[in-house]
Amino acid sequence: MKNTDMKMHVRGRSLFIDDIPTPANLLHAVLFTSPVAKGTIKRLDVAAARKAKNVAAVFTHLDVPGKNQIGHIIEDQPFLAEDELMYIGQPIALVVAETRRAARAACKLIELEVEPGEPVFDPREAYRRGLIHGKKRIQVSGDTEQAFKECRHVIEGSTASGPQEHYYFETHRALALPVEDDTLKVIASSQSPGAYHHHIAEILDIPQHKIELEIRRMGGAFGGKESTAVWVVAPAFAARLLDRPVKLILDRNDDIATSGKRHAYVFDYKIGLDAEGHILAYEVDFYQQAGGCADISLPVLGRSFLHSTSAYNIPNVKITAVSCKTNVPPNNAFRGFGVPQAVFSMEAALFHAAEETGLDLEEIKFKNLLRDGDTLPYGMRLEQTDGVRCWETLDKRVDIKKKLEECEQFNREHDDRKRAAAVQPVCFGISFTQTTLNQAGCLVNIYLDGSVAVSTGAVEMGQGVYSKIALIAADALGIPNHRVRMEATNTTRVPNASPTSASTGADLNGMATQYACRELVERLKAFAITRFKHDNPRDISIQDGEVHLMSARTGYTWEELIRDAYSARVDLSCHAFYATPGVYLDPVKEKGRPYAYYAYGASLTEVEVDCLRGTYEILGIDIVHDVGKSLSPEIDRGQIEGGVIQGIGWATIEQIRYGDDGRMLTAVNSYKIPDLKFVPKRFNIHILENASNPYAVCNSKAVGEPPYIHGIGSYFAILRALRSVRKDKPAPSLPLTPEKVFMYLHG
């Protein structure tokens, strides 16, 4: 497509916030933050900082004209701390100066006295002390107590998964510009135009129509820019109070130290199987490392809760989930949104069960895969499941049994190196579990020359959602792709937009776009029949930019049609709205249909471990993934590749460390993410054929998050290789870093 983000990225022509020319009177904002993980402010003196050279202002919570609150779900997160400090990096004051250097220097002049408290960093300990966000959630399906009595094998264990840094290219930043009529324009790197728009208005105590929030694109987000609004609210707040443009940018280390991560979890599980390997019962307790404020932790925990059984049919289930209030920065959304943690726990329980019983792990998995007619623990009955078909297609392509046998043969012949493979199935629900968010609007404008502009609430962050929506619009209008342009996401064109997350960006906004375009086509067809003196609009169609009558070309072009329709005073603009039908979840009974549909997949990951050094190599990964009828195979393939590599990173080399005082020890020079050399040389992706999906636009399926789950297979492949050497130690927690591998083998 002409002028898509992809082509502009390659040419270096895409504009990000730092590329926008700024006024000469621009100010720079820097946050003064908490140096302790828990405490109470006894004295805060900003007088010296206010008098510092080139400083325009120093703001505290006393200067906030509206509600000093940016809590996303629960109002427990002050914009600027008032008295209680809950984590290192919590904003206390906002320094605004002529330069960032001056603002940083002024921060050092702020005097702060804190009465320290006793921080808690362990989720179990927080739970024992009653430090939780929201309430404990319990889901029961069947009777696990009775089922365990009937099981041939009952296995119990514990495991844990660690946090993960988003490491987007573009750190948190925003530019706020006062404009005419006492209004404010904010250009942000944010996934949540609707929510952030609302937060800015509340903080400033002004109506939302006084604020224009625009998001052209982001240099990555992965969920990390969905909920914590402080870095967008702060420059908007300062710009309004000072009536000058204000910009805030986090450098990489500040971003890592103060922003939320993927939630770490601790799990206790109990699983029961019969003699043939059918899973009869499963119980799991989720302890979520939420951080000092609730932020978006409760919805993340909810999605873990709803994916506790992963891709398997288990008739008797008891799930307990609790969000633990710990003194680290509030953790937030990350690609997968709690699902990877739940899947890891399930897979760990199955791996443990296979070891204890001697049953074949792959046979257990395949035997228990979800099939049509199965019912999930929350009462949703499945149809059009493709999990088994994905597994069988994978088996035909790679011969799973043969691959496992080849690894065993290699291990018999080598003492210093060991190989192993793991099969990872995927079942990922698509929709916001907060039903309200399953809505989207779209504005389509057709101009006199036949060009088309589309505005939606979807935010482009590198995932190709603009390109997909433009393709949907062109297809619905029957015109060439180059005639369609996507406008920047802007609250003045599409208000109250849901966040671009949960893999719903193309689903929701694409459907709203299709609705708007179809309405415009109906108007144009009703006009066109008058030109051809025909009485049935159904006989008119628009294909490849030309009007067809009774399926025959007429020579009447799209451009001529638009020009004549305008002359006849036909409305060439349309706003449409879409709300996902039939989704709901009873919060009391924990039953319902929270997802419109599911995405499926299966993959085989093969690894080789150097038993002397503890290092390993991902030899290859073969994937079969279900994307329905793809909107763009090129984009979908790229999303699968990116998701898998990011999942492998979480499962293997990405490790974050905190000090005993809660301070982030990991910085940009010590955090390892997968690079090109880490990507497996054999990386085969097969899009499941003959797949469809009546519950999403153009029969497609979401593809942003589900492929991430394939990456978890790398952990279990490495673990299986380690178990071929020794089995006398408990399995390490995730991530399974080379250091952990070395200590497992030699420590």
Task: Report the catalytic residues.
Answer: 705
* Order of strands across the sheet that contains 552-557: 540-543, 546-549, 552-557
Query: Rounded to an integer, what distance in angstroms lies between the CA atom of residue 370 and that of residue 386?
Result: 9
Query: Rounded to an integer, what distance in angstroms lies between the CA atom of residue 353 and that of residue 620?
Result: 26
| 39-45 and 316-325 beta bridge pairing | unpaired
Cα–chain center distance at 334: 4
From 507, 510, 379, select the one nearest 442 (Cα to Cα). 510
Q: Are 304 and 338 in contact (CB under 8 A)?
A: yes
Which amino acid appears at position 216 of this protein? R
CA 699-704-706 angle, 5° bins: 85
CA 303-305-307 angle, 5° bins: 70
Which amino acid appears at position 553 of this protein? R
Which residue bears the tokens 């633990």?
Answer: 324
Q: Are 122 and 129 in contact (CB under 8 A)?
A: no
Query: Rounded to an integer, what distance in angstroms lies between the CA atom of residue 419 and that of residue 716?
Result: 12
Q: Are 429 and 421 in contact (CB under 8 A)?
A: no
592: left (phi over 0), alpha (psi -120 to 50) or beta: left
From 746, 733, 744, select the one nearest 651 (Cα to Cα). 733
> Burial level of 520, CB count in 10 A (0-12/13-18/19+)?
buried
Query: Rounded to an integer, what distance in angstroms lies between the CA atom of residue 482 and that of residue 473?
Result: 11
Q: Are 235 and 247 in contact (CB under 8 A)?
A: yes
Query: Rounded to an integer, what distance in angstroms lies between the CA atom of residue 747 and that of residue 727?
Result: 14
Cα distances from 58 to residues 63, 89, 97, 679, in angstroms, run 9, 17, 9, 47
334 DSSP assignment: -
Query: Rounded to an integer, what distance in angstroms lies between the CA atom of residue 73 and that of residue 297?
Result: 9
Query: Rounded to an integer, what distance in angstroms lies between the CA atom of residue 670 and that of residue 668?
Result: 6
Maximum pairwise Cα distance, the chain: 86
**Helix/strand/coil (H, E, C) string of 439-500?**
EEEEEEEECCCCCEEEEECCCCCCCCHHHHHHHHHHHHHCCCHHHEEECCEECCCCCCCCCC
* Order of strands across the sheet that contains 39-45: 84-85, 39-45, 111-116
Cα distances from 732 to residues 158, 536, 609, 720, in angstroms, run 10, 69, 15, 12
